[in-house]
Structure 1
Amino acid sequence: MAMAGEEVGKPPPHHLPTYPEMIMAAITALNEPNGSNKTSISKYIQSNYGELPPSHSALLKAHLMHMRQNGELVFIKNNYFVAGPDAPPKRGRGRPPKSEARGPPGFRPAPPRRPRRRRRRP
């Protein structure tokens, strides 16, 4: 029988830092000149933090992708770097939209013309 103060069936709480913290610590500790790849980051985390969830590789992949999209990490030639404070902001894909202001102030474009009527066979 369990005592009143005990909880039955719950594992002890994990004292692991969050994945982004572990990833940043791994990249800074490895300090590789060409950046750190996913395998070396994973091995560093496994050796330093021990008990990891069974879905560690999927979690690592998802967090790396998320951090890359947020601009926290830079991904060049399959290697990850910590983005510096002077890193250029990430641009969206494709051509930027045209601005609405065309021409000098007070300029009004001509109204759209009606399409011509098609000529039909007699």
Structure 2
Amino acid sequence: MERETIRNAARIVLGASLVFAGISHLTFARKEFQAQVPDWVPVKKDDTVIWSGVAEITLGASLMLAQGKHKKTIGNIASAFFTAVFPGNISQYTHHRNAFGLNTNRKRFARLFFQPLLIAWALKSTRK
């Protein structure tokens, strides 16, 4: 398989995953996502979950549909988004909040290592 084809497939899978996550923010996993909102965020937890869900749907669709020179820009935005939401993962760990089956400190801690992978995925799948 050609490298460009693999990168495009990775970009589309990441985009589809973001759309799914965004939809889950707005529907069946709303309460679960609220566990990740840090207490210091100055917006109601449910509002934060809704707006981040809308952002994920938009970002995911943008990743899937990105063409040419726009891929890199969208990849940078996705990378920034994954960086911006990382404090939520840290908050879930430090406040011992159970969500998404992350019901032990070990599981919550292990999840922290996936965020850098998402950042790398966003960047790598949108570069030539």
Class of the TM-score when normalised by the shorter of the 2 chains: under 0.3
Q: Whose strand proportion is higher, 1 or 2?
A: 1
Please say which structure displays the higher CA radius of gyration.
Answer: 1
Higher RCO (Cα < 8 Å, 6 or more apart): 2
Q: Which has the larger share of helix? A: 2
